[in-house]
Amino acid sequence: MTTSTVTATLRLGTRGSRLARTQSQAVADAITAATGAPVELVPIVTEGDRSAAAIAQLGGTGVFVTALREALLAGAVDLAVHSYKDLPTAPEPQLTIAAVPRREDPRDALVARDGLTLGELPPGARVGTGAPRRVAQLRALGLGLDVVPIRGNVDTRMGRVAGLTGEGGDLDAVVLARAGLSRLGRLDVVTELLDPLQVLPAPAQGALAVECRTSDARTRELLGRLEDVSARACVVAERATLAALEAGCSAPVAAYAEVAEGERGPELFLRASVTAIDGSDTVRGSITGPLPDAAVLGRALATELLDRGAAELMAVSS
* Residue from 2, 5, 77, 89 nearest 43 by CA: 77
Q: Is 54 helix (H, G, I), strand (E, B) or coil?
A: coil
**How would you class 304 by CB atoms within 10 Å of its CB: exposed for 0-12, middle for 13-18, buried for 19 or more?**
middle
Closest CA relative to residue 177, chosen from 278, 82, 104? 104
- Are the beta carbons of 275 and 133 closer than 8 angstroms? yes
From residue 6, alpha-carbon distances to 28, 38, 198, 262, 268 in Å are 14, 8, 47, 40, 36
Q: Residue 195 catalytic?
A: no
Closest among 254, 264, 251 to 290, alpha carbons compared: 264
Contacts 24+ apart (CB under 8 A), 143-150: 143/118, 143/119, 145/121, 149/54, 150/174
Catalytic residue among 29, 49, 78, 86: 86
AA letter at 60: G
Q: What is the DSSP letter of 226?
A: G
CA gap 78, 40 in Å, rounded = 10
Which positions ≥6 away from 6 have C-beta within 8 Å? Answer: 35, 36, 37
Closest by CA to 126, choosing from 187, 185, 177, 168, is 168
Residues with a known catalytic role:
86
